[in-house]
Every structure is written in structure tokens, then in C-alpha cells.
Amino acid sequence: MNSPYSDKVIQYFQNPKNVGDIEDPDGVAKEGSPACGDMVQLHLKVDKKTQLIEDIKFRSYGCASNIATGSIITEMAKGSSIDEAKEITWQQAADELGGLPAVKNHCSVLAVDALKEAIRDYEEKNGLIKEQLPTTIEVVKERLKHVMNPIHGLDVLHTNLISNIEIDDNIIIIDVGLDEDHQFAPVVKEDILEKLEHRWDIEKVKVSFQK
Amino acid sequence: MNKEMIYLDNSAVTRVDKKVLKAMEPYFFDNYAVATSEFAYTMGIEAKDALDQARMEIAGSLGAKKEELIFTSGTTESNNLALKGIMYNQKDKGHLIVSEIENFSVLNTAQRIEKEGYDVSYIGVDGEGKIKFEELKAEIREDTVLVSIQHANQEIGTVQNIKKIAKLLKDKDILFHTDATHTFKRIPIDVSEIPVDLITISAHTIHGPRGIGALFKRDSVKIKKIMNGGFQESNLRAGVENIPAAIGFAKAVELITEEENKKLKSMRDKLIERIEAEIGDVTLNGSRKDRIPQNANITFHYVEGESITLHLDMRGFAVSTGSACFSKSLEASHVILGIGGDHVRAHGSIRFTFSRYNNDQDVEKIVTAIKEVVENLREISPLGKEGSEKNEFSLQ
């Protein structure tokens, strides 16, 4: 039978590793996607002298891709330094899992985001973060790399789905090269809003599609 | 495929009854002619007679005349023919009303019609999935031509009071179409009692073959042909008639009994009762009272539906979910959102639909399996833990 999931994804789905909470965690994150509804919680314990991740645990309120990615990413991060762990990409996680179905990639990118957020949380709490950067086009592009184009399963930026980005007076304007009645238009919009709306210096995000 | 599979997705499609297949067989191998005019050759005349007989039996089960039944390829085509056939037949572009929890073949057809410059209103539903009758009344206008409201919902199984709706519309001289795909032969409709103008039915939900359905169209109602070609089906639906399938459809209609419907209802009630008693934090979606006999739809809070269906699949059960993760569009069920549920309610919703080929042991087995699966997934979930963010996502 032709399952959309690799054997490894199924293995992790059935027997996820590093599930749970850490008492008094040094860093926590909860990433959720309103588009697909999945959610990942991540707890970190960091050795403050060596900056190595001593322990890492996750919980998932999500589908098989979400559970499997949460599991693999905790295995990849455990024992590595926070700087190394920060560099773990969604692609590396997907490769470790023997691939993920294109349409499901945005459920799995959450786990990667959660890891980055948990590290950022740890850094913030421990005075390791410099001041907040203003939102520039480059920052927007960086965030958009975490929004999936469900048609290809790659991010909206690399698949040239974004036709224009403007920042004007604390408002971000994004034009998406997708028909407004495309089946994925609402999902893409929700994902973009979720990634950008909470920027400290942004009041509004306007996303428009082709008429 | 695993022979031990317990199939509980019978609102998607049902297994064909062997008696149905047997009834169809001669029309593939013995009399495989098209339905000709009565002036042609014997095989063609006999084929026409067989098709007419099937038409009469199926129409009869709705209390209709055989002239009032147009064979189509199924629910999607029947719904397209009803909506487009009526709206395109108007001199001036008129107004169409549909409910917002219709099957996609009604909703997307309505949207297409709207794009072509017609006005379309979408009626909301209450928490059980019943249409808001006052809202429907308020939406009716001078130029309202057609109202299309399903008899029962495909996901949550809620049955609408189509008699009340039909009477309201009859008084106002507005046409009424109902998609009865999920109630046909399960909940009786008699067109001599209910003034409904168009009804969609299909064979695939009653152990008939797929690829055949029909549209009941009251004699007095005029529609425009949307499939152009030959003069088949009273010149309302072109294309070679699917006679073997029509014969199978009629056989499927004949085989459904009141006793079977009672058995479905009993399995459904037992499933709901046991899940509610044995698993915490669940919500029944749809109406407890006005519900098709074959459907149970339950949200298991704090867990996601695709994960549940995948685990159940590995254990040999086929069910479906309203979770966005499961759908081709990555959107949560528009039905669950329509009844006021949020993404969370859709996220953990599972639809179980029974058929002739299920029994009480299947209920026992699915209850045992789903208890374990939900328990395991709740172990992994960040939600619903004692003292944790149980309230972060609202429980409906």
C-alpha cells in the first residue's frame, strides 16, 4: 500500500520519544497554527555553563507529521549546544524522517519553530538577547520562510508565491500570487497573519490575493 | 486489503450488495443495448423497458411518477442540475438561498452561480445544525427563485424539518430543492405529502453502485439542460443511459428495510452511549434527536482527528474526521464551524457511519479501540492536563 508517510514517520508516530514536561524548564515554547489547528509545546533544560541542551521534552496536539517531527527534533537537539540547535532546519528534520508529505509540511514546521522559540525564551530569560530589531522587509521575508505553500510543501517565499511586500507606517502589505478563491487561500492567509501580526512594531498585516 | 477491516465510513460510500451486482449483470452481458425508441430493435426496446421499470421503482419510493425522475451520475451532478438548471432557466438573474452546511456540490455550485452575477444567500444553522428558520424567512425576497437545503447533513447527520421549509416556500411560490443523499430510504420522503420540487438521491449510500443517482423534478417545474448532447432523460440529461447502474440502483432501493434502519439506529445509539459513558471530555456533534440512523459524530477533546484515524486504520478501522489535517483543502470542516464549533471542535471530530454490513461486535470493537487510541494521544497532548491550560482552548 502506498502510505503518504515514511516508515520512520509511522514509527515515531506510534512510539514518540521525549514526550512530556520538564519540571522548572529553562526555556518553554508553544507554537500553534490556527490554519491547521496543530500545536506543539516544548520544554528545555540548558546547562548554563556549557550552553548544552541537557534535556528536551515535547507535547503535541496534532497529526502524525506533527508528532513525528516533534519527536525527531527533540532527539536531534538533545545534547547539542543552543547555537547548534538553533540552526536545525525543517528540511533537516524532514530528511531525518525520510521525507514528509508535501501538503503536511506546515504541520511539521511548527515543531522546528517551537524549538527556536524555546531557545529564544531561554536566551531572553538569561539576558542573552540583544535589543529587538525593527521589522524590515528582510525580517518579513525571514518569517515568511515559515509559511508553507501547501501546493508544493515548500515555503511561500521559495515557491515565488509572494508577489509583493511593503511596509508602510507599521502596516505590512503582502500580495500573494494565488487566486482569492483558491482552496488554499484562507490557510495561507491565516498562516501569514499568525507569523507577522505579533511583531512588536506592527499594527496591521494586510494580505491580498489575485482577483 | 485487510479482510478484517471494519468499515465505518458508510456516508462516503457503501459496499455494493451482491444482490445488486447480480441484478446488474445481465445488462452488461446479455442485454447491453442502449435504450432506443420503441421503433428500433428488440434489444433496445427491452433495455428501454428495463430502464423505465427501474425509474418507476425508484420514483415510487419517493411517491413520485416515473416521468419525474432524471437519472444522473450521482449526488454532485444532481445538485448541479437542480441549482444550475433552475437558475439558468430564469429570464432575469434571480436570487438563490442555500444553507452554509451543504455538501460541496451545492455550496460550490452556488458560489459559481454567484460569480456569474446571481445573488446568493447562505443561511446559518444553530448549534445542532438545524437551519435558522427565521433567518431563512428574513432572506426571502421578491426575486428569490430557489432554496436548496439538505434533508440531512453529510457529516453530523442532523435532519432538517423539510416539511416546514417546503410549506413556507410553497406559500411564497418559491422552488425548493433538497439533497436527500444521506436520508434516501433511511427517512421516508413522500412528495405527495411534502411540497418539495426537486430532490437529489444517489445509489452509493445505499449499497448500490456508484456513478448513478437521480434528480426528482416535479412535473410542473421547468429546468434548463446543463449537459448538452443527445435527447436522453426527457431531453434533460444527455449521454448514454447507465442502464446496468440504474437497475442496480432500483435493486438497492428494494433491499432496504425498516428493520435494517432500526438496526443502524441501535448500533449508533449504543456507540454514542458507550463513548459518552466511558471516555471523558467528548462532545456529540449534531442533534441527539433528529439524526440519521447511520451516523455518530463525536469530538474527542485535546487530540487531533487525523492522528486518531491513522491509529484506528492501523488497528483495522476506517472512519473519517473533520480535522483540517485530514482534508484536501487543509481547512477544518465547514459543518463543524457552521454549528458554532471552533477549529478545536473540528480538530478532534470523528465521524462513524454504519451500514448493513456492520454489527454489534463492530460497536464493541471500535469502542475498545478508540478508548485506547484517545487515551494514548491524550498522554502526548499538552492540553487537558490537570492544572494545565485546559481553558486555553474553549470546550464547546
Mean residue pLDDT across chain B: 93
Q: How many CB atoms lie within 10 A of CB B138?
A: 11
Query: Please, which contacts does A142-145 make with residues 24 or more away whose CB atoms are closer than 8 Å?
Result: A143/A195, A143/A196, A144/A174, A144/A192, A144/A195
What pLDDT, on the 0 to 100 scale, is given for residue B394?
36
What pLDDT, on the 0 to 100 scale, is given for residue A120?
87
Cβ(B306)–Cβ(A64) under 8 Å? yes
pLDDT band at residue B328 under the 50/70/90 scheme: low
How far apart, in whole angstroms, are the C-alpha atoms of residue A7 and residue A87? 26
- CATH second-level architecture of B18-255? 3-Layer(aba) Sandwich (3.40)
pLDDT, tens digit (0-9, with 9 covering 90-100), for A100-155 = 887 777 778 889 989 998 998 899 888 887 667 888 999 899 888 877 777 766 67
Q: How many CB atoms lie within 10 A of CB A4?
A: 13
% chain A with pLDDT above 70: 94
What pLDDT, on the 0 to 100 scale, is given for residue A104?
77
Q: Is B381 part of the contact surface with chain A (CB cutoff 8 Å)?
A: yes
What pLDDT, on the 0 to 100 scale, is given for residue B169?
98
What pLDDT, on the 0 to 100 scale, is given for residue A152?
66
Question: Domain boundaries in chain B?
Answer: 18-255, 257-380
Query: Nearest-CA distance from B110 to chain A in Å?
Result: 14
Q: Is A105 part of the contact surface with chain B (CB cutoff 8 Å)?
A: no
Q: Is A181 part of the contact surface with chain B (CB cutoff 8 Å)?
A: yes
- The answer to whether ipTM exceeds 0.85 is no
Kindly report which listed range (B91-95, B276-280, B388-392) carries the lowest average pLDDT score: B388-392
Partner residue opposite B304 with nearest CB, options A16, A62, A186: A62
Query: Nearest-CA distance from A38 to chain B in Å?
Result: 8
Residues of B in contact with A153 (CB under 8 A): none
pLDDT, tens digit (0-9, with 9 covering 90-100), for A45-102 = 999 999 999 999 999 999 899 999 999 999 999 999 999 999 999 889 999 999 988 7
What pLDDT, on the 0 to 100 scale, is given for residue B395?
37
Mean residue pLDDT across chain A: 88
The answer to whether B324 contacts A62, with C-beta atoms less than 8 Å apart, is no
Partner residue opposite A67 with nearest CB, options B307, B326, B330: B307
Residues of A classed as catalytic: 36, 107
Residues of B in contact with A67 (CB under 8 A): 307, 380
What pLDDT, on the 0 to 100 scale, is given for residue B396?
31
Of all helices (H) and strands (E), which one includes residue A192? helix A185-196
Mean pLDDT, residues B252-258: 98
Query: Nearest-CA distance from A186 to chain B in Å?
Result: 8
Q: What's the topology of domain B257-380?
A: Aspartate Aminotransferase, domain 1 (3.90.1150)
Partner residue opposite A41 with nearest CB, options B111, B347, B382: B382
Q: For residue B46, is pLDDT > 60?
A: yes
Residues of A in contact with B303 (CB under 8 A): 61
Tell me the whole-structure pTM to 2 decimals: 0.88
pLDDT, tens digit (0-9, with 9 covering 90-100), for B119-174 = 999 999 999 999 999 999 999 999 999 999 999 999 999 999 999 999 999 999 99
What pLDDT, on the 0 to 100 scale, is given for residue B392?
40
DSSP states of B240-291 as a string?
Answer: ---HHHHHHHHHHHHH--HHHHHHHHHHHHHHHHHHHHHSSSEEE-S-SSSB
Query: Phi/psi of residue A8, each to 5°?
Result: -70, -40
- Domains, chain A, ranges and CATH? 7-125 (3.90.1010.10), 137-210 (3.30.300.130)
